[in-house]
Structure 1
């Protein structure tokens, strides 16, 4: 079944594009909804869809992604010989209207698409496990979401690492995964977004919660027995946190004593940690490597 074209994006201003994105779940939302995103939470997606997420200001990293997208697309074609096409539409699943896709490129003649990424050298390990090529989980979920919406057979991912290392991967369509994604996305859309019931919050939501409730009022709330597990977990993790923090400080101070006034320490021939003076004259301790 062919995907629907919800809107032509060529002449849309940015704010209009954002409004259309609120009409459903996009590929970049999926990992957060299933709890597998390193960058955002299901709660942030929920706030975005109901129009209550604080606006994200443009920044140099976002601009770099936009500027380098056509460069990386051309690089992909040069490396693979595979031609790509821009698709200036927001696509919609023909049956599950809450599933949207705003793709980077389409591969004519292959029933496939291309997702383009630009990342830093620090994220190299996201794409390699030793010498083995891997694909971050977020992008596997994103690609299968797109394949569901456009009924595609596979999806390519092209990434520029550190501004110079070009890599590309292929993600094959996973029918079992797609079926599960449809169920999870449908439940999220119908049970949370449409019903205005926020999903459970987590560790990534500190700033969002603080922004939602910036001021206190001289009242109180009674936490019911139904939330016993939450209360117990808070108390248990507080005890564990204090013990862990104390143990960390103990271990750190022992290493500091070994370092003395040296700013670098090596372990088995590799940089292990630093204890450098900053401009304010304070020494800052950082762990660089692991065992």
Structure 2
């Protein structure tokens, strides 16, 4: 491994560990700053790094991940015959200090690492395309970030789906992707975190906007003509949204007519939608098929 051992974590308090994480970009941050995360945005990463938002409160899902991590690691060893070692360090890239890595396990003798995941049955389709095994984009980026920091040649990913289905994948080192990640991460760190400049706000930042600006003031702001395109998009998308909502309601009613008194509609042997009577006596329409 070619990474710098920045700090030992074996007896480190959780709050101190969080502070060290704020000193650089970790593997779980990468997809967000690339705009490819399902879970968080570049703005959330930025606010976390400058200490403007509290860390995510511990929850049962996070606790389950911690408890099951050694179980999944042992399962991986048993399934593959590959021995892994826990690493109690935060690692740092030797040439790009803003790039950090908290890796789950190291694979001695292979110049490789292991990332461990625990997910619900609802996420099974993230790991399969039909019968073909796939790897979620977030984890491909995370693994290549770790390979950039450690100099590893490949990274294993082990996942426990629904508490019983163990799966594992291999991600080979991608030099072109790694070079792109180095550029993206350094630019984000220097242009936003160091410069204290907000990254672009996205659709998933609604809650963060409410957090950053919780109260209104009885004042107004004049928006410059520089933002003509932004204002125009606001008005155009409002009209398009209204039309889309009307079109959606039109199609729903046509499907309801086809369903009549039936609770379920089947399309190509799969549940398409339901229209069930609830406890209050009202029928509730839900689309079950599709994405």
> 2:277 and 2:102 mapped to 1: Cα distance?
47
Q: In the alignment, is residue 93 of structure 1 matched against residue 93 of structure 2?
A: yes
Q: In the alignment, is residue 64 of structure 1 matched against residue 64 of structure 2?
A: yes
Q: In the alignment, is residue 190 of structure 1 matched against residue 201 of structure 2?
A: no
Q: Which residue of 2 aligns with 1:36?
A: 36
Q: Is the 8 A contact 2:273 2:286 kept in 1?
A: yes
> 1:37 and 1:45 mapped to 2: Cα distance?
11
Q: Which residue of 1 aligns with 2:79?
A: 79
Paired residues for 1:203-214 under 5 Å: 203-214=203-214
Q: Which residue of 2 aligns with 1:256?
A: 256
TM-score by length of 2: 0.97
Change over 3 Å in CA distance of 1:157–1:274 after alignment to 2: same
> 1:225 and 1:73 mapped to 2: Cα distance?
56
Q: Is the 8 A contact 2:48 2:55 kept in 1?
A: no
Q: Which residue of 2 aligns with 1:201?
A: 201
Paired residues for 1:80-159 under 5 Å: 80-159=80-159
Superposition deviation, residue 6 in structure 1: 1.3
Query: For this pair of structures, how many residues does the alignment match?
Result: 291
Cα deviation digits, residues 182-208 of structure 1 (max 9, x gap): 011000000100110010010110000
> 1:172 and 1:217 mapped to 2: Cα distance?
53
Stretches of structure 1 that go unaligned for 5 or more consecutive residues are: none
TM-score by length of 1: 0.97
SS in 2 for 1:158: strand
Q: Which residue of 1 aligns with 2:168?
A: 168
Q: Which moved more, 1:182-191 or 1:262-271?
A: 262-271
**Aligned-residue CA RMSD in angstroms?**
1.4
> 1:48 and 1:281 mapped to 2: Cα distance?
46
Change over 3 Å in CA distance of 1:280–1:212 after alignment to 2: farther
Q: Which residue of 2 aligns with 1:46?
A: 46
> 2:28 and 2:282 mapped to 1: Cα distance?
40
Cα deviation digits, residues 250-271 of structure 1 (max 9, x gap): 1112222222332211123221
Q: Which moved more, 1:92-101 or 1:219-228?
A: 219-228
Q: Is the 8 A contact 2:118 2:161 kept in 1?
A: yes
Superposition deviation, residue 89 in structure 1: 0.6
> 2:126 and 2:136 mapped to 1: Cα distance?
6
Q: Which residue of 2 aligns with 1:225?
A: 225
> 1:274 and 1:162 mapped to 2: Cα distance?
25
SS in 2 for 1:110: coil
Cα deviation digits, residues 78-117 of structure 1 (max 9, x gap): 1100011000111011111100000010001111000011
Q: Which residue of 2 aligns with 1:245?
A: 245
> 2:16 and 2:84 mapped to 1: Cα distance?
26
Moved >6 Å (runs of 4+): none
Cα deviation digits, residues 153-199 of structure 1 (max 9, x gap): 10000011111111111000111111110011000000100110010
> 1:79 and 1:279 mapped to 2: Cα distance?
48
